Amino acid sequence: KAGVTQTPRYLIKTRGQQVTLSCSPISGHRSVSWYQQTPGQGLQFLFEYFSETQRNKGNFPGRFSGRQFSNSRSEMNVSTLELGDSALYLCASSLFQGSYNEQFFGPGTRLTVL
């Protein structure tokens, strides 16, 4: 069974631009969660989507948004990029909604904001 895939793997943007990251979950998994990972803050939960609906949201500004499609693929968008948005963005899928279910992680997208 193919694992979680994320595209692109690396991205360089400048301040003020916007970016869209993509995540394809494991086949059959309906929940997709997004995390931001930085050296100082570690892993921080962004949001979770299940059946095309956002079910859970972390403490991030409205510049961070996402969506999920009918095939469970998910996209995350960050508008008006700031230097502090530079991070590794991880996507994880699970069979069911809720973080107590085993999360299967993708390789991440490394975003650098200049």
Partner 1 sequence: AQRVTQPEKLLSVFKGAPVELKCNYSYSGSPELFWYVQYSRQRLQLLLRHISRESIKGFTADLNKGETSFHLKKPFAQEEDSAMYYCALSAGNNRKLIWGLGTSLAVNP
Residues that bind partner 1 (CB under 8 A): 3-4, 33, 42-45, 48, 56-58, 90, 92, 98-100, 102-107
Question: Which of 4/81 has CB closer to partner 1?
Answer: 4
Q: Is 30 helix (H, G, I), strand (E, B) or coil?
A: coil
Question: Which of 43/114 has CB closer to partner 1?
Answer: 43
Give the closest residue to 21 by CA, choosing from 110, 113, 93: 110
Question: Which of 79/107 has CB closer to partner 1?
Answer: 107
Nearest distance from C-beta of residue 56 to partner 1, angstroms:
5
Nearest distance from C-beta of residue 114 to partner 1, angstroms:
26
Nearest distance from C-beta of residue 51 to partner 1, angstroms:
16
Question: Which of 20/44 has CB closer to partner 1?
Answer: 44
Residue with tokens 């969506």: 67
Nearest distance from C-beta of residue 100 to partner 1, angstroms:
5
Q: Is 90 helix (H, G, I), strand (E, B) or coil?
A: strand
Q: Are strands 64-68 and 74-78 parallel, antiparallel or unpaired?
A: antiparallel
Residue by residue, what is the 3-state secondary structure of 40-84? CCEEEEEEEEECCEEEEECCCCCCEEEEECCCCCEEEEECCCCHH
